[in-house]
């Protein structure tokens, strides 16, 4: 895998993780606003700048993913999504103040170990 392909792959994964975090934050805000105003959660979320921004981020991520798929075998590219799990887990605990138990961390370490195995043993294309 070339450095450029790796870069676009990591960019796609980072954007997907960022999109998830932005959407989660947007839904937290929309839920509170809908309850406080007695409005529909769907309408409140559908007009939220956080939700709309998260969807745009996902759109850009999808384009970057398509570029990745044109350059990298899916069997190599897809396991990189595991990095998104790590980013989301860390960011959700640090930024969103969510809790994660020890088993969540153990599972995440196992997923990353699997990623390392796949990437280091993948046949070159």
What percentage of the chain carries pLDDT values higher than 70?
A: 97
d(CA 99, CA 107): 15
56-60, 66-70, 85-89: lowest mean pLDDT where?
Answer: 85-89
Radius of gyration, CA atoms only, the chain: 17
Q: What is the mean pLDDT of residues 97-123?
A: 85
Model pLDDT, residue 118: 77
- Judged against a pLDDT cut of 70, whether residue 67 lies above it is answered with yes
Model pLDDT, residue 125: 55
| Band (50; pLDDT cuts 50, 70, 90) | very high
d(CA 79, CA 64): 16
Domain count, the chain: 1
Range of the domain at 28: 3-121
- Residue 27 near residue 55 (C-beta atoms within 8 A): no
- Judged against a pLDDT cut of 70, whether residue 124 lies above it is answered with no
pTM listed for this prediction: 0.81
d(CA 55, CA 108): 25
d(CA 45, CA 102): 32
19-33, 46-60, 78-92: lowest mean pLDDT where?
Answer: 78-92
Q: What is the mean pLDDT of residues 17-26?
A: 94
d(CA 5, CA 97): 34
């Amino acid at each position: 895998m070339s450095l450029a392909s790796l870069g676009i792959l990591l960019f796609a994964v980072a954007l997907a993780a960022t999109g998830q975090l932005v959407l989660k934050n947007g839904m937290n805000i929309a839920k509170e606003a809908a309850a406080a105003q007695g409005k529909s959660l769907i309408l409140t979320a559908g007009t939220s700048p956080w939700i709309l921004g998260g969807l745009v981020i996902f759109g850009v991520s999808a384009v970057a993913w398509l570029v990745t798929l044109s350059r990298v075998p899916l069997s190599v590219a897809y396991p990189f999504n595991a990095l998104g799990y790590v980013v989301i887990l860390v960011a959700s605990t640090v930024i969103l103040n969510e809790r994660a138990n020890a088993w969540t961390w153990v599972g995440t370490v196992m997923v990353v170990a699997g990623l390392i195995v796949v990437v280091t043993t993948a046949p070159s294309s």
